Amino acid sequence: MGVNNHDDKAIRNAKEERFESLLSKLDEIERQLSQKADDIVSFQVLHHRNELEELETRLSYIEMKLDILSQTDESEIEVVKSSKLQKKPLMNKIASIFTL
């Protein structure tokens, strides 16, 4: 019986060692998986940041164009107003020629 008991202990020890080895490998796989997930999230955050910076640049450009357009509209309004003021006397002169 002593030999059989010794064999059982050896088998049990081998199984425990194998189990510990599997647990160690599982821990390593979990660590690698966690690292991979962190890398993916970091990449996505960086990509989103780049997209936001691009959108911010485009928005600034659009705001600048709107400012230019609004200034242009105001100056065109002034030109139209002054043009209308100048046309009235001219129209009166033309009308006076035909009424003679």
Q: What is the pLDDT along the chain (100 residues), one digit of tens a residue?
A: 556 788 889 999 999 999 999 999 999 999 999 999 999 999 999 999 999 999 999 999 999 999 888 887 666 666 666 665 555 566 666 666 666 5
Q: Which domain holds residue 18?
A: 1-71
How much is the pLDDT for 87? Answer: 57
Rounded Cα distance between 61 and 82, Å, is 32
How much is the pLDDT for 58? Answer: 97
Residue 25: inside a domain: yes
Residue 17: inside a domain: yes
Residue 85: inside a domain: no
How much is the pLDDT for 33? Answer: 98
How much is the pLDDT for 34? Answer: 97
Residue 97: inside a domain: no
> CA-CA-CA-CA torsion for 67, 71, 74, 80, nearest 10 degrees?
-130
**Amino acid letter at 5?**
N
Residue 98: inside a domain: no
What is the three-class DSSP state of 67? Answer: helix
Number of domains in the chain: 1
Who contacts 100 (Cβ-Cβ below 8 Å, separation ≥6)? Answer: none
Rounded to the nearest 5°, which phi and psi values hold at 15? -65, -40
Residue 24: inside a domain: yes
How much is the pLDDT for 69? Answer: 85
Residue 96: inside a domain: no
Global pTM reads 0.51
Residue 67: inside a domain: yes
